[in-house]
Structure 1
Amino acid sequence: MAKESYIEVEPGVELYVLEAGEGEPIVFIPGFTFTTEVFQEQLRHFSKTHRTIVIDPRSHGKSTITLHGNEYITHGTDLAKVLETLQVKSATLLGWSFGCLTVWEYIRQFGTDNIKSLVMVDMPPKSLSLQEDQDWVEGKLDDLAAAYNTYLRNPKGQRDFISAYATGVMVQRELKEEELNWIVQQSLQTPYYIAANLFSSGLFCDYREEARVASESVPTLTIVAEHWGEVATAYLQKLAPQGKVKVLGGHMMFWEHSETFNEIIEEFLSA
């Protein structure tokens, strides 16, 4: 059974952490407004062989909702505090979506000495580009600006944004009503005004140098969704050629295709 704990990363701000299993540590960081719940299948699977840790970032899930620090520089220092408090050494860090930004920011601030390997799930290291025909990016500048201005201004907009993203990008099959409701409720645990700040912070990040350095320093695997497959693979082969790339499912492939995803991770960790 997983152990629950709260780790104070600064006075008045606690992060919720789930931990199970023993062995070499693997740490999961969820993406934009999502929580430990999305990694339940990974927690169950990897805790049989690894010390498995899953984190709610600040203002996500059961962690403290705070009006400050909702950007990825602070999220990187939060991750460092969690690892220090739990005495985690030589960890595999797995970030999904904007959780990758937390990992790259950690690397920017603290290097890779305490990292054994990296798994980056479906996030380009730079979200915006004027060279969209060459670069793997999250989307066109105008489209992302419209998403920010249209959706992330009130709770209904946040619901509509996540619902559309879930059905159009996250999952390939048709979602049951209760599944879609669960995904949307995951996101709504982060208030819309904080979600808007996280969204804009994430889109303006540039971690290309950290991605390159990381791939040269530690074994690195990037798993990308099928709709990115060709452009993302070509982009990463140029930016970080020493890293490995796998293509699977949609943006939330670890949930929809959990067995295949876990097998890919197992193979990478045992190499």
Structure 2
Amino acid sequence: MTKVREKYIQADSGVELFVQEAGSGEPIVFIPGFTFTTEVFQKQLEHFSKTNRVIVMDPRSHGRSTVVLHGNDYVTHGTDLHAVLEELDVKNAVLVGWSFGCLTAWEYVKQNGYDRVKSMVFVDMPPKSLSTSAADWVEGSLDDISGIYNVYLRDSKGQRDFITSYITSVMIQRELSDEELTWIVEQSLKTPYYIAGSLFASGMFSDYREEAKKASKAVPTLNIVAEHWSETAVNYTNQLTPKTKVEVLGGHMMFWEHSDKFNEIVERFIK
């Protein structure tokens, strides 16, 4: 059994962030995506803690961190990440952001630079979520994104319906058991719908193209993209950040469904 150390770190007045830590050595920091929690990275914590110091966190209003009405945006999440790295005295870290967690990582280096960062891994997230150009790698069409915000993220049932559909159609490629699906949905629903709406809007209106360019020049960077949009994502990444290494694997939650292959890709990159 992996020995996991747990603690709460104060990031703001009245805001504590839940953090799990295991292993020792050079640190790897995993940042979950929109409404998800430390729990989704347990296979990475178990694997990488054999050779590295692994840190996973619940962003504010996620999982076991404090649920608050303020700061539910990715600028604040970048500031919160700084508080965690500073409190834990993390240096020479590999930052691994998944989905909107990539926005947190880009925002962190935008605010703080690369003194604590050795390399960066971005898991299945374009640096700009929306665009009117058909050639760009984006989260979806403007009409689809508007529909999610205005129809689904208005109450608890809508949030549950949206995340359930997203899990089964985009995140996971295989058929899930009822128990698996319930567990993944429940991780997301720990963030209330009225906060999920704020996070969704913040993420969709973010633009970190300049930070992506700077990161690719400052430190080694890796993008791991899902198969369903890989052609567009690879072409876009090669044009925007040609120094960034790109790998293609599974669906949006490939690190959970294809954990062995994912861990192998990240391990090869950081070595």
Provide TM-score, normalisation by structure 1.
0.99
Q: Which amino acid aligns with 1:126?
A: K
Aligned equivalents of 1:249 and 1:10: distance in 2? 37
Aligned equivalents of 1:115 and 1:104: distance in 2? 11
Aligned equivalents of 2:107 and 2:143: distance in 1? 26
| Other-structure match for 1:88 | 90
Aligned equivalents of 1:10 and 1:197: distance in 2? 18
Aligned equivalents of 1:169 and 1:85: distance in 2? 36
Paired residue for 1:11, among 10, 13, 27? 13
Give the 5 Å matches for 1:31-180.
Answer: 31-131=33-133, 133-180=134-181
Helix, strand or coil at the partner of 1:211: helix
Aligned equivalents of 2:181 and 2:198: distance in 1? 24
Aligned equivalents of 2:197 and 2:176: distance in 1? 25
Q: Which amino acid aligns with 2:84?
A: V
Provide TM-score, normalisation by structure 2.
0.99
Q: Which amino acid aligns with 1:64?
A: T
Aligned equivalents of 1:105 and 1:266: distance in 2? 24
| Other-structure match for 2:200 | 199
Give 1:55 shift: 0.4
String of CA shifts for 1:105-155, please: whole Å, max 9, x gaps.
001111122210000000000000000x21000000111000111100000
| Other-structure match for 2:25 | 23
Aligned equivalents of 1:153 and 1:179: distance in 2? 25
Give 1:193 shift: 0.0
| Other-structure match for 1:233 | 234
| Other-structure match for 1:244 | 245
Helix, strand or coil at the partner of 1:166: helix
Helix, strand or coil at the partner of 2:247: strand
Q: Which amino acid aligns with 2:236?
A: Y
Aligned equivalents of 2:162 and 2:261: distance in 1? 28
| Other-structure match for 2:263 | 262
Aligned equivalents of 2:207 and 2:126: distance in 1? 9
Aligned equivalents of 2:261 and 2:7: distance in 1? 30
Aligned equivalents of 2:176 and 2:159: distance in 1? 19
- Ranges in structure 2 where 5+ consecutive residues have no aligned partner: none
Alignment size in residue pairs: 269
Q: Which amino acid aligns with 2:156?
A: P
Aligned equivalents of 2:229 and 2:4: distance in 1? 34
- Answer yes or no: is the 8 Å Cα contact 2:121–2:223 preserved in 1: yes
Aligned equivalents of 1:139 and 1:111: distance in 2? 30
Q: Which amino acid aligns with 1:116?
A: K
Aligned equivalents of 2:86 and 2:72: distance in 1? 21
RMSD: 0.5
Q: Which amino acid aligns with 1:65?
A: V
- Ranges in structure 1 where 5+ consecutive residues have no aligned partner: none
Give 1:218 shift: 0.3
Helix, strand or coil at the partner of 2:168: helix
Q: Give the share of equivalent positions with the same residue, in percent.
A: 68
